Amino acid sequence: MIKKLEKYSFLFQELVKRDFKKKYKRTVIGMGWSILSPLLQLLVMRLIFTQFFGRNMEHYTTYLFCGNLVFSYFSESTGQGMSSLMGNSSIFTKVNIPKYLFLFSKNVQSLINFGLVLIVFFIFCILDGITFTWKFILLIYPIVSLLLFNIGVGLILSALFVFFRDIQYLWSIFTQLLMYLSAIFYSIDSYNERMQELFLLNPIYLHIRYFRKIVIDGTIPSVWFHLLMIADVAIVLGIGCWMYKKYNTKFLYYV
């Protein structure tokens, strides 16, 4: 795969550039929306949920931002990745190139957007009185983990979308449900131990919790917590790669 990426590096770069231009075409502030959109979401969530969930919670704005930051990246990356094959069918039906390049280009675009918002997040941390420590370096782990997880989910969704167009509507409903199950604006501390363990079955909550542990609590998650995240990534990547390999030629007949 690495050799193929090197071989098609020019095409890959052009795909990333094209995706950026297409996304922000005819917008006034262009890439500024990558930062403004999650900030506006954060503002709305803070105005609505502070009175209900954040009255007695220290650093509630940062707590919200952690959840919104991670979930927005996941939602954008997988949502765009789902249409990566269908949106480029006119290319790979005429030229024999690795089809996963289209998905990777979408993920690079989402990763850059995430990086821009992450800078703003760190500024918010300073304003919220968060103490920066060497442990912040460990945030690389959930970022890389989430990147790979998004790629895995994108591989699965884009493959399914070729055969079942209904998947876009089902995914929209699922992501909305997932948002409420990811404890973005509330804490799970009030739940019993059994219920709290069920939240760990949600991969997105794991990544959000990792961010909060490092940034707000200043603690490093346990080893098994890291292993659980690795397991989630391995499962979705494995399924996604298998689907692309199995249905590689069939994609041409359904686009």
CA–CA distances in Å: residue 251 to residues 5, 163, 248, 254? 21, 8, 6, 6
Alpha-carbon torsion, ordered 196, 199, 204, 209, to 10 deg: 0
State residue 12's pLDDT score. Answer: 67
Residue 38, both tokens: 């999650």
How many structural domains are present in the chain? Answer: 1
Burial 148-165 (b: 16+ CB within 10 A, else e): bbbbbbbbbbbbbbbeee
Of the candidates 79, 70, 69, which has an alpha carbon nearest to the alpha carbon of residue 107?
Answer: 79
CA atoms within 13 A on the CB side of 61: 16
How far is C-alpha 25 from the geometric centre of its chain's CA atoms?
23
Within 13 Å of residue 26, how many CA atoms lie on the same side as its CB?
0
Mean pLDDT, each 10-residue run in order, the chain (255 residues): 64 71 62 68 69 71 90 93 84 77 88 89 88 94 97 95 91 94 88 90 96 94 95 96 87 73
Predicted pLDDT of residue 216: 93
Residue range(s) defining the domain that contains residue 17 = 2-254
